Amino acid sequence: MASAWPTAAAVRSAPASTRRTFGTSSRSSRLDSSKPEPTSSTSKTRAQIDAEERKLFHEYEKTATHTLEELAIRFDDIGEELGLDDYDVEYANGVLTISMGEKGTYVINKQPPNKQIWISSPVSGPERFDYDYVKKEWFCKHTKETLGTLLNREISAAFGGEFAMPIS
């Protein structure tokens, strides 16, 4: 029984106007060629993108480090103000640990891959904060609360007074 499909030799010998090719038809070529080519003024080079990413990362590092250093100083001051014996503040390698004895331990650290600050709170648990460069504050996308507001509330409740956490 003869096959309904032409042989490869028959296809090669057929006139070009009757051949079917897939993916390279003159119609698809016309469509592809009608797309404007990106110009150097509208597209960024990989080097430009890399430079922007390095700049953003540097800004994150500077801001996060400054925030953690401010918090370390403020938490240290709180311990001195209250004269607590079982209270310790340690800041090293981007990790701030505040041990408050029976009241628990806070761990606040930079999370460079995500450009966030993460907190582990003995009161509210873990949370992530992103930096809003317009408002100049760290905020939680889930709760919409700022890092300063969270710490003010929890530390004030823990020690029974007002303990402002100046975070900029």
| pLDDT tens by residue, the chain, 168 residues | 555 665 655 555 556 555 554 444 444 444 444 455 555 555 789 888 888 888 989 999 999 999 999 999 999 999 999 998 899 999 999 999 999 999 999 999 999 999 999 999 999 999 999 999 999 999 999 999 999 999 999 999 999 888 888 775
What pLDDT does residue 16 have? 57
Whether pTM > 0.85 for this model: the answer is: no
What pLDDT does residue 71 have? 96
What pLDDT does residue 30 have? 45
What pLDDT does residue 79 have? 92
Place of tokens 């038809």: 25
